Structure 1
Amino acid sequence: MTPNALGRRTVLGLSAAGLAGLGSTALAPLAAPARAGAPAILKPLPAAWFVDYGTNAEMAWDAVDPHRYLTSQSRLFVRNHTRTPVLDAAEHRLRIFGDGLDRPDGVVLGLRDLRRRYRRARVVTVHECTGNGRSLFATQQGQQVSGTPWRLGAVGTVVWEGVWLRDVLASVGLRTGASSVLATGVDDEYVDKGVNLGRVRRPFPLAKALDDAFLAWGANGAPLLPDHGYPLRLVLPGWIGVASIKWLGSLEVSTAPQSSPWSTRWYNVDGPLDLNPVRSAWELAWEAQIPGSERIELTGRSWSGAAPIARVDVSVDGGASWAPARLHPRPYAGLAGHGWTRWSHTWERPEPGPHELLARATDVRGRRQPDVAAYNPNGYLFDAVVRHPVAVV
């Protein structure tokens, strides 16, 4: 079977064993399948779960199940620069090279090598697009920005399975003076306004590589879906989503600073962006119609790229008064990394009519959501307290 003959239903119907055995597909992108919806994305995008932006798909926030902590791959947002490739795990290779290694020619590792040679691990992270909340620059702050108009659904919490990059680099051998790692994917080269900018790639400091950078082949107990990086992706916990390169093909370890359009032209505000900020969201539809009652139980989630959440304060009267929300225990606290924090609040005797709900989170490092997000023309890192409109009916 050729890659172009592998239809969307075939790919999505594969079991874990089937994914591992895709030995007959070439290591090349799948032609865009004939289907309604985003042609660059392979998984189904039901309207009840997603907002379809063509190349990208946002998880509809009101579809979040308040009883489920992790975000399943079937619900997780998708950010593609080109289109999702279908790759053969048995043939896929990761090349690690560069003058920052003892051997500049480096090594080439298959998935089997990674699984057999290194200790397996799991890490829980909040995985989030840099532009999450971008549309709120316009609707809440009256500022026009460019890019996909995400609301709040370009985020999820995931338990990744794989190996620590530091273990792999230690076995390869680092030279004194190594300082930077450039991660490159194997999806299509990206063309912008007729200019070919090459494959999606982005550098990160060696210090991050030796701290908590992760090579993942699984998510939430299952193999990665093609849209989420199958068969291998980089995960940089807490950092902006583009830094966690999908379909990872190479890592260049250098003694000199490295750059790419994805660290200079984009994802840069007075320097390359790294940590995601603190954010919060109510688990309600935008402009939700809430049946009136003496007591209404409200729930939400808060998260931070830097650290777990320490406190959430909420307002049900547009910010006139505030009260501490009840924080729920965080599952997976025994794993490396951290996910989001769920919380709840009891709204006593709400008056019928329109209201604005606000939630402000603070993480354990003391970072707190501001009232106004810092403007930048690409609409990155909207972290202001969101004014969520609802009506009690």
Structure 2
Amino acid sequence: MILPRKSFRLSRRRLLKGLAAGGVLGASSARAAEAPAEAPAGDPAILEPRPWSTSLGPGVEDGSYGVPAPQEAHVVRRTVPWLTADPAASVSFTPLHELDGIITPNGLCFERHHSGIAEVEPDGHRLMIHGLVGRPLIFTMRDLLRFPRESHVCFLECAANTGMEWRGAQLDGVQFTHGMLHCVEYVGVPLRHVLAEAGLRAGASWLLVEGADGAGMSRSLPLAKALEDCLIAFRMNGEALRPEQGYPLRLVVPGWEGNLWIKWLRRIEVGDAPWGQREETSRYTELLPDGRARRHSFEMEVKSVVTSPSPQAPVRHGKGPLVISGLAWSGAGRATRVDVSLDGGRDWRPARFSGPDLRFALRRFYLDAEWDGSEWLIQSRAMDEAGRIQPTRRQLQAARGVNSIYHNNAIQTWRLAPDGSLENVDVE
């Protein structure tokens, strides 16, 4: 039935009276009927004019760069001071518990440096290609901008992410256990175009990629991966790379460990063998229980973590509806499923994904639950398109021992206490 137009007329006074009498609008009708309104009728926060609605605010500023609201000033990267002897060779961690969706803001992307941030002047920066090539080449930034470019959303995870948790629960905060992780949109030139310009010679199978920082950070990269999907990136999330992220050039190696994503990229040498034989990649070996070592373990394994609630994001509203949120990813391409357990892994519920489904990107998952105020042991378990399943900590230790700090993709457990606080715990 079509109602007459006059039925839709509603004065401001009638609207406010209705809100005051009916409580908070906008929740689902089912839950609104079950739960009492949080604010009593006549709440001045909705009925009375607020200061910000009765005066002019600041106007636009010439030459300014936008910043978050002052109330969000606590959302920052943080460090673990005792982790390294000097901050020039240390880590700052992404505040995963404060974020939603899959994109990490540029100013919150974790940092990992070996000799501090190289402050590079782009006009004086060069990229050299040499070795097993038809003609060695040196590119300026302007030269590179003339090549065809592509845009890709990728996660970047340090091989040592969650590394301090190998032997058991250590740090209370997802920022510190899993915060060597970010996901941004990179724009750059496919590495294969630059290599084609130089011309690959017979026998070429490996690259040595090197940065312009004081450490001369260098790593070996299989040529096959370079030709498949690597980028020489100069933009992230639409703007130029930040200095701490490799300005003006960095390598993007989708799905592979972060130490290969060389920042301040200055040199690529083409060869016929990994430079690990010259002690390059041997720095990232992982000793196994039987005395052997994993080597060239480039691809990041399937992994997930609940970011909220978590130790830095406690439950503040008490019993009732609770949105459990987290991230899943895989170096094989896509995380295809996430299950969430509230009892330490005995029973599992399927979570729902929301947002973009992109290869080599993070995926955001949610589970809508009802917390009764009892103790919960919250876990997430991811599966990927290669059929791999995220292991428990015990399963991972049985297979790889406890001597490594790299490639820890074990299931994480948060204990939710009746008072709403959470802590990092181990479960059998």
**TM-score category of the 2 structures, normalised to the smaller one:** 0.7 to 0.9
Output the amino acid matched with 1:297: V
Counterpart pick for 2:223 among 206, 222, 242: 206
SS of the residue corresponding to residue 392 of structure 2 reads coil
C-alpha displacement of 1:301: 1.0
Counterpart pick for 1:384 among 410, 414, 420: 410
C-alpha displacement of 1:257: 3.1
C-alpha displacement of 1:263: 1.0
C-alpha displacement of 1:83: 0.4
C-alpha displacement of 1:376: 4.8
Structure 2 match to 1:363: 384
- Paired residues of 1:281 and 1:301 also in contact (CA < 8 A): yes
Structure 2 match to 1:286: 311
- Paired residues of 1:131 and 1:150 also in contact (CA < 8 A): no
Residue 288 and residue 92 in structure 1: after superposition, are their counterparts in 2 closer, same or farther (change >3 A)?
closer
SS of the residue corresponding to residue 283 of structure 1 reads strand
Q: Is residue 128 of structure 1 aligned with residue 128 of structure 2? A: no
Q: Take 1:174 and 1:14, find their aligned partners in 2: how far apart are those partners?
A: 46
Q: Take 1:50 and 1:233, find their aligned partners in 2: how far apart are those partners?
A: 21
Structure 1 match to 2:362: 340
Structure 2 match to 1:72: 105
Q: Is residue 52 of structure 1 aligned with residue 79 of structure 2? A: yes
Cα deviation, 1:233-252, whole Å, max 9, x if unaligned, reads 11111000000100111000
- Paired residues of 1:316 and 1:347 also in contact (CA < 8 A): no
Q: Take 1:14 and 1:171, find their aligned partners in 2: how far apart are those partners?
A: 40
Q: Take 2:91 and 2:120, find their aligned partners in 1: how far apart are those partners?
A: 20
Output the amino acid matched with 1:125: C
Counterpart pick for 2:356 among 330, 348, 365: 330
Q: Take 1:111 and 1:376, find their aligned partners in 2: how far apart are those partners?
A: 44
Q: Take 1:383 and 1:279, find their aligned partners in 2: how far apart are those partners?
A: 5
TM-score (norm 1): 0.78
C-alpha displacement of 1:223: 0.1
SS of the residue corresponding to residue 78 of structure 2 reads strand
Output the amino acid matched with 1:289: P
- Paired residues of 2:155 and 2:254 also in contact (CA < 8 A): yes
Residue 388 and residue 287 in structure 1: after superposition, are their counterparts in 2 closer, same or farther (change >3 A)?
farther
- Paired residues of 2:91 and 2:113 also in contact (CA < 8 A): yes
Query: What are the residue-to-residue correspondences of 1:260-275 with 2, within 5 Å?
Result: 261-268=279-286, 269-275=293-299
Structure 1 match to 2:39: none
Output the amino acid matched with 1:236: V
C-alpha displacement of 1:225: 0.5
Query: What are the residue-to-residue correspondences of 1:1-393 with 2, within 5 Å?
Result: 48-53=75-80, 54=87, 55-64=90-99, 66=100, 68-98=101-131, 100-103=132-135, 106-116=136-146, 118-140=147-169, 150-189=176-215, 199-259=216-276, 261-268=279-286, 269-284=293-308, 285-286=310-311, 288-290=313-315, 291-330=317-356, 333=358, 337-348=359-370, 350-372=371-393, 373=396, 374-393=400-419
Richer in helix (by share):
2
Cα deviation, 1:272-311, whole Å, max 9, x if unaligned, reads 2200111111122327532333332211111111111111
Residue 86 and residue 93 in structure 1: after superposition, are their counterparts in 2 closer, same or farther (change >3 A)?
same
Residue 70 and residue 48 in structure 1: after superposition, are their counterparts in 2 closer, same or farther (change >3 A)?
closer
In structure 2, runs of 5+ residues without a counterpart are: 1-62, 66-72, 81-86, 287-292, 420-428
Residue identity over aligned pairs, in percent, reads: 32
TM-score (norm 2): 0.72
C-alpha displacement of 1:346: 1.6
Output the amino acid matched with 1:319: G
Q: Take 1:389 and 1:135, find their aligned partners in 2: how far apart are those partners?
A: 19
C-alpha displacement of 1:47: 5.9
Residue 163 and residue 83 in structure 1: after superposition, are their counterparts in 2 closer, same or farther (change >3 A)?
same
Q: Take 1:14 and 1:212, find their aligned partners in 2: how far apart are those partners?
A: 36
Residue 304 and residue 249 in structure 1: after superposition, are their counterparts in 2 closer, same or farther (change >3 A)?
same
- Paired residues of 1:326 and 1:344 also in contact (CA < 8 A): yes
SS of the residue corresponding to residue 123 of structure 2 reads coil
SS of the residue corresponding to residue 280 of structure 1 reads strand
Q: Structure 1 residue runs of 4+, over 6 Å off?
A: none
